Amino acid sequence: LTVSLSWGQDLSRSTNAAELTKKEMEMNDFAWRANIIMFDSAYLQKQQTLLNDILIPVGGMGGPSFMFTTVNNQFTMMMGGGGGMLLGHSLILGGAGYGMTSASEVSHISGAATNTGNLTFGYGGFMLGYIFFPESVAHFTVFGMIGGGGVTITPSMTNGFVIDPNAVQTVFPCGAASIGASFDVNIGKMIRASIAGGYRMVWGVNDYHISGVTDTGLSGPYGAVSLSFGWF
């Protein structure tokens, strides 16, 4: 690669630094630097790599979700949402979380017949998903989530008074994961509606020996409707 720079002076009249003026030395040094930079630029343009000409669009999405499921073998509704980064219009990397909107009655951990409490359950974690045919008005998505959650039991109350004064609120951490699929519709450029279904798996609750509360009882199928907003 040859680079010609015209400075209005003859920089080639001598290669001996002692014979050059200070200004000529600075200009000569700049010319060499320009040669190196232009050579590097040309080399990078010709260099071949595994990712040549690959440009991955990056977007983001998120929104609320309303879930219908069973918790402790009772029908219940959970509210939550999720979101994350969207790569190539298809790959979802993000998180989600859900919690019960109302409590269900259970026997407390002590197992005493009179010691009852109200159970609530919530969970969340890292979510990975893939959208098929995202450019179509109607398309579908498969996804999975893994993380953790907790079962909370609070003392039963009547008219603002605790029925059993010996009962205290207790939180029992647990593991949780889910898999599912959704049917999606692009309502607009930045809004999408979905109907989903899947299965939730819970583990670690059996270790606490809570009367009437088990891993199996907290696991189960679910259905959900959701809205997503973002750059798809």
For residue 218, give the CATH number of its domain.
2.40.160.20
Q: What is the pLDDT of residue 211?
A: 77
185 has which bridge partners?
A: 138, 193
The answer to whether the CB of 60 falls within 8 A of the CB of 230 is: yes
Same domain, 100 and 212: yes
Task: Tell me: pLDDT of 30 over 70.
Answer: no
Q: Last residue of some domain: 10, 30, 54?
A: 54
Q: Last residue of some domain: 54, 69, 97?
A: 54
Q: What is the pLDDT of residue 11?
A: 42
Same domain, 48 and 146: no
Q: What is the pLDDT of residue 51?
A: 54
Q: How many domains does the chain have?
A: 2
Q: Which residue has the higher pLDDT, 213 or 113?
A: 213
Q: Which residue has the higher pLDDT, 199 or 118?
A: 199
Same domain, 69 and 40: no
Q: What is the pTM (predicted TM-score) of this model?
A: 0.71
Same domain, 134 and 48: no
Same domain, 80 and 15: no
Distance CA 169, CA 152 (A): 7
Same domain, 87 and 185: yes
**CB-based burial, 194-208: b 16+ in 10 Å, e otherwise:** bebebebebebbeee
Same domain, 116 and 200: yes
Q: What is the pLDDT of residue 127?
A: 97
Same domain, 39 and 94: no
Distance CA 87, CA 61 (A): 11
What mean pLDDT value characterizes the chain?
80
Question: How many residues does this entry show for the chain?
Answer: 232
List the one residue out of 113, 78, 83 whose CA is nearest residue 99: 78
Same domain, 32 and 68: no
Distance CA 212, CA 53 (A): 59
Q: Which residues form the domain of 32? A: 1-54
Task: Tell me: pLDDT of 19 over 80.
Answer: no
Q: What is the pLDDT of residue 14?
A: 44
Same domain, 112 and 144: yes
Distance CA 117, CA 168 (A): 9
